[in-house]
Amino acid sequence: MVQVKEYGEWESPLKSDDVVQASNSIARMYFDRFDSSKIYWDELRPTEGGMTTIFSKNVTDSTDGTPERWTPQGGCDVYDMVHEYGGAAYMVNNDVIYFSNLVDNCIYTVSKHDRVPKRLTQLSETENPGNKSPYRYADMDFSRADNFFFCVREDHYSATVEKDGQCRNTLVAINTNTAQQTIFATGNDFYSTPRVSPDGKKVAYITWVHNNMPWDETQLYIGHFHTNGEKIHVGEHKKIAGEENLNLMEPRWTADGKLLVVADKDGWWNLYEVQHLHSDTPTLKCVHQDKAQELGSPCWHLGYRSYYPNPKNADQVAVLYGGKPALLSISSGSYKEYTLGVSEHASYCIFSPDGAYLFLQVVSPMKPSKIVRINVTTGQIDDFYYSGKNIVEEPFLSVPVKKCFDTPTKGSPGKAYGYYYPPKNGNFKAPDGSLPPVLLKVHGGPTSAASLAMDLQKQYFTSRGIAIFDMDYRGSTGYGTAYRNLLKLKWGVYDIEDCLAGALYLVSEGLVDVDKLLISGGSSGGYTTLACLTFDTNKPRVFAAGTSYYGICDLSALAEHTHKFESHYPDTMIAEYPKQADIYKARSPLFHTEQFKNPCCFFQGLLDKVVPPAQSQTMYTTLKDQGTTCAYVTFDDEGHGFKKAENKKKALDGEFYFYSKMLGFEAADPDIEIPIANLPEKQNPKKRHRKNK
């Protein structure tokens, strides 16, 4: 029998333990080019201390087939911290897995003949901070005939940092027999995606310099090399493409030596072929143009695969425009799209080396992420592997609806977007005439987008009676280059305007309670959360409370102290620093705490190198001392983003508990309390003069 209870007080079968137990995530699929029978992937498992592990299955296995584990639990974490965000931490070649181990930053090997991981690159004899190598490695690709592979190397030796003023990024070639490293490309600020040509003589790669990010102005190069089995000899490097404001990413070779790349030459990320590759004037020819959806994502991490050439059919490429898988003919432009399940989107693709199967990483707001197998000959589509069990039954599953609303900037009309998840619980309903609270989620980046992957944390809230609105403010990706660039110099303006407007749009639609609007975000989303709570000029203010996960409080500190990868990002998103430091101060919540009146909760990892914990600590202390209701929870074993199950559980329960106290409802879950400073004896949502329409 359905019970009547206030929103927020619904008892949910989805517990925080369930959320973290089922929050495994698949990172990257890979094939050994000599073996079409087995596919590999790495998987983050919060219940194993947040470690990432490599698994494999035979390509013909059923969904129920048990994956084979290649790295042991404990002592091996298949992850890297290149650019501080990592990615592409392993590869497989000739039955040997090569992987970066976050435990000590070294590259290890493991094989079917020797399951004990062996260190390939060694720790420094002179400098081992925290027993870790000063070198970090990522994004590996093997040479075609010899015992070398290419990868990105990030040099954190103190002498290098002292000389350059920052760490040094290069491309290196590593000899698998001797571990000798040869610098292949150097001189620019960043390198990514080294990809060896089929003839084994060239490497295509992407490079860029400050003040750009990898989704801004980048360049495509080819470097020549040859080896004698012992040493690698670096030859000529040639710029293939790159012009002002042109973004290039994900270079790959076809089986017959054509070079493909994703570019936004026409204002959308589309697939291009490099023509006249060996001439003095190579050109880019669009292979497939789409001006309604994009191919690719902003490269916060290394190793994206939004398209993949068929290794046995040089004319065929798998593409994922807008997350929809299709086979594309380079020569004719013919386009065969595959139909996935309802609300399913593919985020990553790879062919088996024999070209017989196409594998996809597929996400959906209604199911755990999974690997899907497509038989290229027959078109048969099968689920191959699920990252977790589907623990949310249909009566408790909230399905998002995309919303579009007008942005409020005077003289600059436009649109912003979001995904609305209504409250849903088959055992409860709210009293007639009542409207639910809504938690507006602000994605990080800020150059990023709301994810449509199943997020049990969202379902945790909706099954308890709190709606979710996952925002895509101006500057989000997936809507073309012009939209992506709208936030440049306007971070801390447009994102705030759009989040406030998004919440009030839901009110105007009669979907949510005007007195129970909440906001939460992590990293840059945490900044926007804090900025909305600080700079909102509406009377009364829009949001009743908010939560910042490792959010930026002081933009000038971000410009001065953040890591190399993002060290000039604020120059393009806010203003030139330090020349225009006044703009940074004007947009930083930390310097305007007297305007910060509404309750806020902070969650912070004390190992965070992206947003150092001193920022949130100072903000919290200032708010507490001025009498603002606030909470501060830290984790001494987490960095920028939480990986361990027990910490994710405490943060999730703690955030919900905080809202229960701010909105005045009784949470049905026991033992979820966190300490809250300046908490009134009885807290009820403040009634607004604004009314629901």
pLDDT tens-digit series, residues 666-678: 999 999 999 999 9
Q: Which SS3 state, helix, strand or coil, does residue 332 take?
A: coil
Nearest CA-CA partner of 577 in 603, 546, 598, 554: 554
Sign for the pseudo-dihedral over CA of 119, 120, 122, 128: negative
pLDDT at 690: 54
Amino acid at 12: S
pLDDT tens-digit series, residues 197-245: 999 999 999 999 999 999 999 999 999 999 988 889 999 999 999 999 9
Nearest CA-CA partner of 306 in 244, 246, 249: 249
Torsion angles phi and psi, residue 172, rounded to 5: -130, 155
pLDDT at 689: 47
Sign for the pseudo-dihedral over CA of 238, 244, 246, 250: positive
Q: What residues have CB less than 8 Å from 614, skipping those under 6 apart?
A: 557
CA distances from 185 to 152, 238, 685 (A): 10, 11, 59
Q: Report the share of the chain in percent with pLDDT over 70.
A: 98
Q: Could you give the domains of the chain?
A: 3-15+400-556+598-677 (3.40.50.1820), 305-387 (2.40.128.660)
The pLDDT of residue 463 is above 60: yes
Q: What residues have CB less than 8 Å from 371, skipping those under 6 apart?
A: 26, 29, 39, 41, 359, 360, 361, 362, 383, 384, 385
pLDDT tens-digit series, residues 137-178: 999 999 987 899 999 999 999 999 999 999 999 999 999 999
pLDDT at 407: 93
pLDDT tens-digit series, residues 176-207: 999 999 999 999 999 999 999 999 999 999 99
CA distances from 22 to 11, 101, 221, 640 (A): 19, 24, 42, 21
pLDDT at 340: 95
Is the full-model pTM beyond 0.85?
yes
Residue 1 DSSP class: -
Nearest CA-CA partner of 86 in 122, 139, 35: 139
